[in-house]
Amino acid sequence: MTPAAKQRLEVALVVPAGTAPGGEIGVRTLEGGLYATAQVRVQLQDYAAQWDALVADWLPGSGYQPDHRPAMEFYLNNPETDPEGRYHIEICLPVRPL
């Protein structure tokens, strides 16, 4: 488990080609490739279990291994407007064949 002080988070947006970075904001092109994905609807306290299921349950028998590219999450709703307060998230684990 990574200590909280060493954890890092990047937030990304799609921007038009030629957008100039400034200050602490940079421009980066993400590499293509295969991702194992899962769409989940969860309460905040159940969020980590979804990543655990993808990595610990699905990955070992999948014929794939983690790749060096960044993992990603796409937040598909606003949990404040969800009737049950759930987050609708697509989690994406970069993979490559064994």
Q: Which residue ranges form the domains of the chain, and what is each CATH number?
A: 34-98 (3.20.80.10)
pLDDT at 17 (0 to 100): 86
- In the predicted structure, residue 1 carries a pLDDT above the cut 90: no
Residue 49 in 3-state DSSP? Answer: helix
pLDDT at 96 (0 to 100): 97
* Rounded-to-integer distance, Cα 91 and Cα 37, Å: 6
Residue range 6-31: mean pLDDT, rounded: 84
Residue 9 in 3-state DSSP? Answer: coil
Per-residue pLDDT tens digits for 21-53: 888 888 888 888 999 999 999 998 898 899 999
pLDDT at 81 (0 to 100): 96
- Model-level pTM? 0.79
